[in-house]
Structure 1
């Protein structure tokens, strides 16, 4: 049986971090993601991966230090939980989640929180799987976000979204893109959007979230990548060139 590896300062440079397409030398996105992880270790971040070459990992952090606008006390927040479809049927998701639950209980946590959605969506945890495993909805935010939690006792207060993120709005006109280095794909595709916008003379405000304080006060529950237009939330999907071009055509920006 493949072992579960916990990343730390000593092994992160030589370990494949699973959530990227590759760890090739010179891949800026992988480098930035690993730097982001290293900066979070002192905040209590835990990154467990199955020892395979592919996406089979869970990443979680105390909610007090989570890069998400959530209110809760003594919970762990799952920042990312991903097992690639090619590993279906091997029990990897169950092993990783059970390891997370056991670890959180040993640390005296009240339970576990994660960001999900009404139905399965890109880059968000699978709601059907988590609800099957006992997670419950404790709060919602427009247009489709669900905050799921797994309390270890009924006596604990449930976490919730901060009020300012529940309505799916910001205070900016035009296109506004929020992103961080939590995902190795963001830097590449943000640069692509910046290039397309410049070439096509589309105004866009790009805001990089660089601290937990910025993340916890952001207008979007998903601080890895969120796009707004004229104050309204559009998507948390990391857009390809084709999808971004389609969007700016639909919005009448070109």
Structure 2
């Protein structure tokens, strides 16, 4: 099977590999594609297996990434995902190697990715990345790890910005930060905001609209970060059922 890179010319026609189908989540898919269009112009690469499945890698220069992370000359991996019947066939290795080769050609110093102490939903698998040579560059509360793969020894490692280190904000009640980097958020973030409102639960929805906001966000995972009474709770993109269960726990 061949790999295909999304471009401004083929973006509208191509399947973007997410778990929401084009027909069932048209608005969600279109929001992601609009986000991708602007990022491709900034150097984002979306490389995928040429199938209608979840086999892809998405990366861009760290200075353009929507994350509160600093580091000179690194490429940031937004997402590396292989699922379903395509797992165990070496596609993840191939995608990562293609990313490494492309980043070297572009003169980058290395790669970095957001992960966690143990495997968490929507974050890079730490076991896999460490097996591939990634090291821990920095940590942030409550479980985030910034992993990096330097191409040469002795370079300065990337770091989390101070604003995202302690997993706390000033606001009380439920507060959700999100972006359109993942199409799931455009569906579920407003849904649980409506759910909270119907239940009379204080809830504030904050959509991060640009890179500057994202790079100064209070949590490393700007795609989706939920706080309660000022404390970070989860980065998992919650369905209505999961949010209802979460409410009962607080």
TM-score bucket of the superposed structures, by smaller chain:
over 0.9
Deviation at 1:112, TM superposition (A): 0.2
Counterpart for residue 205 of structure 1: 204
- The farther-off stretch of 240-249 and 218-227 is 240-249
Q: Is the 8 A contact 2:69 2:215 kept in 1?
A: yes
Deviation at 1:11, TM superposition (A): 0.4
Q: TM-score, normalised by structure 2?
A: 0.98
Distance in 2, matches of 1:163 and 1:14, equals: 40
Counterpart for residue 36 of structure 1: 35
Residues 132, 177 of structure 1: CA spacing in aligned structure 2 closer, same or farther, 3 A cutoff? same
Q: Deviations over 1:187-245 (max 9, x none)?
A: 11112102211211111010000100000000010000000011100000011111111
Distance in 2, matches of 1:61 and 1:189, equals: 26
When the two chains are superposed, the root-mean-square deviation of aligned CA atoms in Å is 1.1
Q: Is the 8 A contact 1:20 1:30 kept in 2?
A: no
Q: Deviations over 1:54-94 (max 9, x none)?
A: 10000001000110000100100001111114212211100
Q: Is the 8 A contact 1:117 1:145 kept in 2?
A: yes
Q: Does 1:140 align with 2:139?
A: yes
**Count, aligned residues:** 250
Deviation at 1:126, TM superposition (A): 0.5
Q: Is the 8 A contact 1:5 1:51 kept in 2?
A: yes
Q: TM-score, normalised by structure 1?
A: 0.96
Counterpart for residue 162 of structure 1: 161
Instruction: Give 3-state SS (helix, strand or coil) of 2:245's partner.
Output: helix
Residues 246, 25 of structure 1: CA spacing in aligned structure 2 closer, same or farther, 3 A cutoff? closer
Distance in 2, matches of 1:123 and 1:14, equals: 25
Deviation at 1:25, TM superposition (A): 7.6
Distance in 2, matches of 1:71 and 1:65, equals: 10
Distance in 2, matches of 1:213 and 1:189, equals: 24
- The farther-off stretch of 39-48 and 99-108 is 39-48
Counterpart for residue 64 of structure 1: 63
Deviation at 1:42, TM superposition (A): 1.6
Counterpart for residue 20 of structure 2: 21
Mind listing any 5+ residue stretches in structure 1 that lack a counterpart?
A: none
Instruction: Give 3-state SS (helix, strand or coil) of 1:218's partner.
Output: coil
